Chain A
Amino acid sequence: MTAKTKKITVKDIIKKYGGDKTAMIAILQDVQEEFRYLPKAALSSISKQMEVPLTRIYEIATFYNAFSLKQRGKNLVEVCAGTACHVQGAARLMDRMERDLAIKCGETTQDKMFTLEEVRCLGCCSLAPVVRISGDIHPNLTQDEIPKILKNY
């Protein structure tokens, strides 16, 4: 994607919110959704177009969990670490994921296929422990189901 393309899209997003500075979080959410992360160029662009100091935008971008400054892998693997899931053994699932994907929580595999993250909470407590992969819910997961499931992606 060229810088020009990025600027046009960011411009559209800013326009959607009428350039309202108080809508910064919503603007960043739209950018995150469009690019699947917050590119540095996008943040600089927003700063220039909306005349908001980049430090402000960077503060917001690094404060909230929803935002990622790093490009995410093709598949987002989210291990629910809510209390109900924790009590049902989510920690063991995370360990297994880390081993099988050979990355630590928060990282992306070398082939950029998977990003492993912890999430709280998916709110499917009756299905604990739960893992969500690219939006698909995998309920009542046990450790040894993991390799098979990962193969599907």
Chain B
Amino acid sequence: MVSFIIDGKKVEAEAGANVLQVARANNIPIPTLCCHESVAPSGACRMCVVEVKKGKRTRIVTSCLYPVDEGIVVETKTDRVLNVRRLVMQLLMARCPESDVLKDMAKELGIEPQPAFHPDTDKGKCVLCRLCVKACEDVVGVSAIGLSGRGKNKKVGAPFMEDSKTCIGCGACAYICPTEHILMESTDSKRKIWGRTFKMQACDKCGRYFAPIDQLKFISDKTGTPMTELAVCMSCK
């Protein structure tokens, strides 16, 4: 266990935890965008920055990745910290002018858009948090979508930005996306995502469509469980 101070409050934490986890456990709010409990943190959005004093050194770090340590002093709302968050929000609002999530978040943090940044028109609502990519690769294990390009041309999508050949239609990416950028259209028997249309499996017991057949096939291949067993929805199991 280590003890340290955050926003003037003395806290205790397990060694190996990161500052964000401990802050949240102590009801100290720190905004995040690219963070999700199902995947490892990446430190991409920089919203969770805090100011940390360790020994003689003070630096601005992302709390999602900074390991707690004995005796550090953490401040979550200094001028430097707020300045970074303001810059990040202004940049993201210019990148994704259509995103209500970003507008709401900025409002809550008291951040106005920067009129000098001309809004982009080709990024949709994607802030490149890469949660979708991580979910697909690390959680689901399919790797149907990934990152490509570099710098301002970085994108998320299937290889060659074509319709995905390997997507199983599970929708994990759409679920985890913080800005609702990933579009998944669901009708009863069909689901459309990443340019593909997936036939849904109807539950053997109740008849409700609950999952794409491709997804069940994937699970079947991976776990060896026969399709017949998988063709039953969670409520009926």
A window 54-90: CB within 8 A of B? 54-59, 62-63
B147 touches A (CB below 8 Å) = yes
Q: How far is the CA of A56 from the CA of B148 in the complex (A)?
A: 9
Partner of A53, one of B143, B148, B149: B143
Q: Decide if B150 touches A62 in the complex (CB within 8 Å).
A: yes
Closest B residue to A58 using CB positions: B159
Q: Which of B121-144 contact A (CB under 8 A)?
A: 133, 137, 143-144
**Measured between alpha carbons, how far is A62 from B137 in the docked complex, in Å?**
19
Q: How would you classify the secondary structure of chain A's contact residues: helix, strand, loop or mixed?
A: helix
In this complex, the interface size class of chain A, counting residues with CB under 8 Å from chain B, is 10 to 19
* Chain B interface bracket (under 10, 10 to 19, 20 to 34, 35 or more): 10 to 19
- A40 in contact (CB, < 8 A): yes
- Cβ contact within 8 Å between A58 and B146: yes
B145 and A55 contact, CB distance less than 8 A: yes
Closest B residue to A43 using CB positions = B159
* Chain A contacts for B146, CB-based, 8 A: 53, 55-56, 58-59
- B147's partner among A43, A53, A54, A59 (CB-CB below 8 A) is A59
Closest 4 CB pairs of A and B: A55-B146, A53-B143, A58-B159, A62-B148
Q: Beyond A55-B143, A56-B146: 12 further Cβ-contacts under 8 Å?
A: A54-B143, A54-B166, A55-B145, A55-B146, A56-B143, A58-B146, A59-B148, A62-B148, A62-B149, A63-B148, A63-B149, A63-B150
